[in-house]
Structures are given as C-alpha cells and as structure tokens.
Structure 1
Amino acid sequence: MIRSRIHEAYKKNTRYPWVIVALSVLTVFFSGPGQTYFISGFTEHFIESFNLSRTTVSVYYSGATLCAGLLLMLIGRQIDRWGHRRMTLIIGSLLGVTCFAMGVLPSAMLLILAFFCLRLFGQGSMVLLPSTLVPNWFTRKRAMALSLVTLGGVVGSVVIPPINTYLLSLMPWRRIWFVWGGLLCIIFIPLIYLFLYDKPANVEQENAVTTQESDDRDGWTLKETVVSGGFWRMAFSQSIPALVGTGLYFHLVSIMASKALGPEVAAMTLSVIGLCSFPATFIAGMVLEKVKVHHIYGVSFIIQCIALYVLATTKTMGMIILYAIMTGAVTGFQNVCRRLIWPEYYGRKHLSTISGLTMTLLVIGSAIGPMMIGAGYERIGNYEQVTYMMIGLTAIAALFSIVSPKPKKK
C-alpha cells in the first residue's frame, strides 16, 4: 500500500531521476562494509582473534578479492535479467547477512569465505548496481548524474573509518559488524524497496529520459562488444588506475620511507588525494557534458604520468603534496569517465553484463598491482625504477584511450 501511494505521488514528478541518483549514492555508501577502508580497520583484531600472521590475513584478503572479482560478470548478467531493484534488494540483504556473520565468525577458515562475500556483495556488486542503474534514467546530464554517484564512495571513505574507530572505543569489534548489518536491514533495504525503480517506464515517466527506447534498441550484446575495435583498449585503460593506484597506495609508507619521509606523510598524501578528488568529480561531470569522454580520459592519463614522474623523482614535502593534488584531480575525472564510457559506447540494454566484465578486469588489476610493485622493488632495489614502469603502463593507457572513440555498430 505504501509503495502504491509513492508510485502515484511520483508518477508526475519529472525530477524523479534525481531520486534515483540519491538512492545510488546511498547504495555506494552502504558498499562500505566490503571496502578496504572499512575492513582494514579490523586487521589487528583478525590477527589477534584468529591467531593469524599479517601475511596470512593479506593472502586471505587478496585471494578473496580476486575470486569475487571473477564473478562480477555473472552478477552483471543477473542484473540485466532480473532488474536493478530486485538485485539491489537481494545483494543488500546478503551483505547485511554477511555483516551479521562477521559478528559471530568462529574460525579463520570461515574468515576467507566472509572476505569473499564482503568483496563480492560490497566492493563489487553494490558499486556495479548504481553505475548501471543511473544510465537507465539519463541521456542528457548523464555525466553529471554519474559524477554525483561517486559521492557515496567519497563520503563513505571519509566518514566510516572514524565512526568505526569511535565505536571500537565503546564496544567489541564483532558488535560493530552487527551495527552495520542492522543499518543495512533497517535503513537501506526499506528505502530501496519503497523508492527504487529500474527505469522511467516503471513509474510511467515517459519524459524523464529522452531516447530511452532508441538507446535500448541499439544496445550492444556482450558478444558484439568484445569484438568491437575499442573495447579491449578501453578495458585495459580502465584497469590501469586500479593497478597503479592500489599498488602504490599499498606500498606508500615504504615508498615514503625510501625518501626519508615518515608514515604520517603517507597518511597525509592519501588524505590530500581524497580531498582533491571530491571537487574534481563535480568538475568532471560538467566537462564531460561538453567534451568527448575518450579525449578527457586520455588527458587524465597524461596528467597521471606527470604526477607519477613527480613521485619518482622528488624527496621534498612540497612536491609530494603536488603529486597528491594532481593524483586526486585525476582520480576524480577517471572515476566519472570509467562509469560513463560503457553506456555511452554500448548502450543500456546489456550494460550490467558488459560492466560486470570490465569490473572483473579492474579487480584483477587491483589484485596484481601490489604484487607487481612489491616484486619489482625486491628485484630492482628501489621504487624509482618501479614507478617508471607504472608510467609506461599509464602512457599506454593514454594512447589507447585517445585512439578509441565511440564505436559504430555494423
């Protein structure tokens, strides 16, 4: 009854697409329990409670992340088949159940399974869902809408760690997982049930999005997509920020130590990157309404090459801050670009399946990055040469992006 009344109230509301954006922001925010910034706050408790070494916990986590990433294309297929509303309810509920399970976890072996579920349902699926939902509601202002969706991740990464730190001072670590499981079930799931719709037609909003039918009719299948000229070039480019960023951030304390700078500089660097990515996201949304996405993506990689060169060669605090500012700005633009490319290039009909494949490649990149940089450092003996390798990969991504315009369906 309540949902029917909401349906009638919003049937004539042409601003309803922005309600979908707000729900998408909330979805990304509630992906938090599956994100590294959330889970890393409990690392010491995992080590102590299950009598594990730090290396063992890292291996469990990396392995679970990689396995979860390999299943994202399957999740994407189910989203295309069953719709965003149903899948958001299912995945949100499963993430809540996983949080409750973390609160009663009895053994280290089950910790592997818990990591897998957190990464699959949280870090993977709860980010994939809004990234493919919003394009259903927007053709005009799509870039701006997608830029707003990234706010959920930015706010989560800034707000959730201090909240958890405060809660750890009040209660045992297991109880905090119950808190987040409860928030998912009490706040997130009811809001999705009441307000989320898959597309404008579900609330009879014919004018909410233009060219909906044309965009669906011309949508590419996964088979057509993977044999198109630019897909693999763009997929490679999308994986590079994950590979380079995750790898460098994972070893950032060690990198700063090699420059005779303390761990507090590493923490400051990450904070500056996060702060600068916030306004860059909004600017990207406005710019991408007017400039072709592959041009902006290519330029962002060129700027990233310059930032990496600064990191490789500098040993001063001022230049480290410059690196962080440049990286934050680039991150904001790249986050919007990678969400915009796939609906712009391949339509919406099979978007979740296509995005599931590209997110799988992104997760693989994030899993490879720390190992690649760690192995490179052990072999070469310094981070400068390893960073030059990252510059080379980023330069290739820039070239691939620039030469990969929107494909034409044959």
Structure 2
Amino acid sequence: MFGSGPGQSHLIGLFFDPLSRELGLTRTSLAAAYGVATLMAAFLLPKLGSFIDKVGPVRMLWILTLALGSACVLFSFASNWIYVAIGFGLLRFLGQGSLMLNCNNMVSQWFVRKRGFALGVMSLGFPISMAIHPPLCQWLIETIGWRETWIWLGISTWIILLPPILLFAYNKPEQVGLAPDGVIATDDSLSSTTITGMTRTAALRTPAFYIITGSLFTLSMLVTALHVENKGILMEHGLSAQNAASMFTVTG
C-alpha cells in the first residue's frame, strides 16, 4: 500500500503547480485530465481482477511494480496536456488501482479468520504514505525540480518493492507448507478453508452490492478531489507549498 504512493492523489496533486507553470496548463485542465484518467482506470480494474486470478498475484506484483516505476520515469518527460493525461491514467491505474487491488487479493489468499485484521494492518501503508510522501516530494520538487522528482519516485518504487517481492511473496500459503492464518498445513486445516458464499453472478443481482458500490464510489471521488486539490487550496489561504504538503502528515 505504501508503494502505491506515486499513483495516489495526495502525491500527484503536488505537481499541479509546477506542471501549470512549465507547460502553460490551467489547473482546470489538469483537474479534468486527472478526473477522466481516474474514472477510466477505475472501470478497467474488474478486467484486471480477472487477469490476476489467471496469472497469480505474485507475477502481477512483478509486472505492476516494474510498470509503475517506469510510468513515474516516463512522466518526467511530460511536455503537453495529452502526455500529462496519459501519464495520469497510467499512474492511477497502476498505482492507486492495480497495486492496491493486487495487495488486497494476496492478503485475502493468506488469511481467512484473521482477514479483517490483516487487511487493516495492510491498509496502514496508505496513511504512512500520506505522512511521508507529500512533504518529502515537495522538498524534492523545490530542491531538484519536478521532473527529477518523478525519476526518483520511479527508482524508489523499484528499490522499495522489488526486494520484498523477491524474498517474501508467495501466491498462497500452501506453497510454503501452511494453511491460511499461519496454520501448519494438515488435511483438516485445508478442508476447513473451503470457500463459501455467493458467486459473482449472484452478488451482482443483489441490491446491497449496488448500494455499497455507489457509496464507495461517491466517497472515493470526494476524497480524491480533496486530496488532489489540497495543496492548492491551502496555498490560496496563505500557507507555503511545503507547509501545505506537510498537512497530509497530520491528516494521514
């Protein structure tokens, strides 16, 4: 979750002002590009979920980490609105969407009875990213420039994520002689992890699915808008760029 930072709104929003100054783009045009990119990335995620089921979460972690780091480096070459919009789309799809989805998938494979707790611990990576990424990246923007900052974000993504994937990532606990929740694999433990519940088709027919989905969609769009525009709003009220970015450390 922490590694998804380059694709999150609390980080990308820091670059609106330097993009606007250097490329001559208005904040409105940048926000429009970001909104469209976010929606397109969201609607592609169901397809990605099916692909993860086919290839396995570990292989997808390799693909997504390499792709996200590359997207960061490529974004440093942005020169016009179209390039920026495509870059936003890649960052949102790979970081905020795909990487988070894949991590949820992997944790769910490893935990059943303790799944809620495990997902909660995993989710701590997001507020930690909010606390660290914005002030650090704002300092880098002011020190070495926004293009160079994106290059370092790409390199750091590879450095932070690739070694743990290589050393610790497995698709399922059975690959290392365990059952879900860290139990030593036995015939009884494996039989007790039989998946029960509704099929996807049955779930899609229930009103509850659409109520929950609609609520999460509305909340996510609101939080996305607030996070991506947070720095600009606070600067209009007199805060410096660094102090505005540092506010995420408090709210994260």
Instruction: With the length of structure 1 as denominator, give the TM-score of the two structures.
Output: 0.53
CA, structure 1 residues 215+231, in 2 after alignment: closer, same or farther (shift >3 Å)? farther
2:90 and 2:155 map into 1 onto residues whose CA distance is: 17
Report if aligned partners of 1:136, 1:212 keep a CA contact under 8 Å in 2: no
Alignment correspondent of 2:173: 200
Alignment correspondent of 1:38: 11
Alignment correspondent of 1:241: 219
Alignment correspondent of 1:87: 60
Taking only aligned residues, the RMSD between alpha carbons, in angstroms, comes to 2.9
1:251 and 1:184 map into 2 onto residues whose CA distance is: 24
1:168 and 1:253 map into 2 onto residues whose CA distance is: 14
Identity rate, percent: 30
Alignment correspondent of 1:183: 156
Query: 1:231 corresponds to which letter in structure 2?
Result: F
Alignment correspondent of 2:208: 230
1:249 and 1:101 map into 2 onto residues whose CA distance is: 23
Equivalent position to 2:251, from 263, 274, 279 = 274
Report if aligned partners of 2:5, 2:129 keep a CA contact under 8 Å in 1: yes
Cα deviation 1:328-383 (Å, max 9, x = unaligned): xxxxxxxxxxxxxxxxxxxxxxxxxxxxxxxxxxxxxxxxxxxxxxxxxxxxxxxx
1:69 and 1:149 map into 2 onto residues whose CA distance is: 21
Query: 1:114 corresponds to which letter in structure 2?
Result: G
1:99 and 1:171 map into 2 onto residues whose CA distance is: 16
2:56 and 2:40 map into 1 onto residues whose CA distance is: 24
Secondary structure of the residue aligned to 2:100 is helix
* Structure number, greater radius of gyration: 1
Matched pairs, number: 240
Report if aligned partners of 2:10, 2:228 keep a CA contact under 8 Å in 1: no
Equivalent position to 1:98, from 53, 56, 71 = 71
1:213 and 1:115 map into 2 onto residues whose CA distance is: 45
1:110 Cα offset (Å) = 1.3
2:231 and 2:87 map into 1 onto residues whose CA distance is: 28
Instruction: With the length of structure 2 as denominator, give the TM-score of the two structures.
Output: 0.83
Alignment correspondent of 1:126: 99
Please list, as runs of the form range in 1=range in 2, the aligned pairs for 1:238-317 lying within 5 A after superposition: 238-246=216-224, 274=251
2:154 and 2:95 map into 1 onto residues whose CA distance is: 12
Alignment correspondent of 1:60: 33
CA, structure 1 residues 273+236, in 2 after alignment: closer, same or farther (shift >3 Å)? farther
CA, structure 1 residues 92+216, in 2 after alignment: closer, same or farther (shift >3 Å)? farther
